[in-house]
Chains A and B, each alone.
Chain A
């Protein structure tokens, strides 16, 4: 064992480069041709299939699986992309156990669903690897649409608009497109730069201009966009991170899980990333799991996820939780942080056990402390700097129907908009549907949405 492994504090290089490389390989390697055919053969081609209903983008799953089974995976990929242009990433990051696979009738039959996510990846990877873009643009409409944010919602919206012949300009605050897919997902879920490759492939439709370092409220304003473009779609995600509201949370090495995940995704050399020997992650969603597991994979000796409610209320799926525990992460439920102790840097986190009361969660007198030299907050993100003039609901932009905001000519979707469930696939669906609504508004054409 490397000596760095046991070094106290937050240090880089706890593991050797070989160990790091081995730890961060593809978490779910792609199916081979034969595996795909065998997996496809398990699909019953259900009537009005429950998996389609369970998919936010309503991909015709039985059809694409049948197309794989008959040796036409490219046709399968097109079935997927018609409904979900980010089907490649969704195949990697969707909580399929909660969505399509959770609804699979094979769950009732045997407790083992058809491997829909893996099959989707098989089909989409195959078509994308051919390096050509399979969609053609409709005749130019002369209309121009501004899309704010190059995350899943913005990209899906832009692609659909471009396909319909509109010209699109995407304004992205960060240096790279992809949003959550590029910055917010554990790296072992999307290896080999897949997020950037997917955006590049998506842009192959043409008619989309991507402008970097363009944050709304800083570099651009909504009224200016409204004045210059025929429609505006807001898909800027959630920039702010919720605070712990625990005493001492300003101590050193208490940081956001999202920035840890972002730094990890952007690092050229994982050996340069500092990580604690004792890491505590506070929260219960997928971000918490991604941060905790990656801390382990970087060489943290003890990693705990602490969540304030019951385990079944955790935002992370059971599959994600199992992945965490299998990676050596301890999950502690029904405990909330009350204080961060330490002399300058964090040394311990003090928790109170919680109890669910009719009026809400209450802290009990039972307390415990966890040794920690690094603490990650993963307790949710919030919208910061929403443009003026938009009505909000629950801290997000209020939308009705296919992403219509309270401002005429302005649509919103993805995490920054009300409703939804903070999933990539939901953001894709919202972006796509808003694009259809925008197109219908701009041209009077009928809406084409699968499902």
Chain B
């Protein structure tokens, strides 16, 4: 028991110190850590839908996009530039605080999640996968084309000049001097994302052990039996879509603030596939596994970028960083599935262990 406590404290200290160490090697490394944290959040959100409720969603990136575009529209001069009434009402532009942005992204994404969930309630397995994939593509096509006749999303050019996050007058977009010590903007974001990830993890654990979580798992194992036991499968599935989507929305708004720029390119099918791969590779339905999967798949390819230079020169420019990254992800998906179909760090099988005890 005491050992556990020490492990927790050590882990917490390591997580807190990590960006300060990375900072010395350059902000690029902290950026990688930041993005890894965002992916952890996305993967945990998708894990609610896929891991707990057993609904394979290949269009998850749509919710990420909803959050990102929501923040992009509200926090950039785009709306004021294109709509006179908006400029008239908010001459200074909307500069919402984090305490508004996060709930708003959460609610908006959750609503989108439920709306997308309604027509696909009856579907399962592969059919659900392909329809959600279609939804993701539809949203991306709209983001790409809604620049005329009314310019809402600015089309493929994307939205720029998005404000950074501010809480209590602290601007995350600027470096901070604390006791003569320089903390860069990316490091500040690291702490913000870390806090959000911790909240996500707590929510996920609480969900997992709640009646709702158990109902989801019952639906995953056998929908008809779950229904027979009095679980309202329709509402539970919609709840899963909504809750999963809400994490995606929050992560998306944070992504927009962090990057200062969003465009449809960031929300391609590839991104959805990658998030699914993180969940499945790590260990579907198992929180530590999902986190492992997300960190591995988001950080490893970035690290590989530094290997890619010489490789690119060697292979006549055919093997650059992005190709290497795709190759790695593809191979990882295939090989891990073949060797460990239940993921790298799978959940212990609750059902069987209970059966053995009694």
The judgment on whether A and B are partners is no
**Which positions in B face A, CB cutoff 8 Å?**
none
**Which positions in A face B, CB cutoff 8 Å?**
none
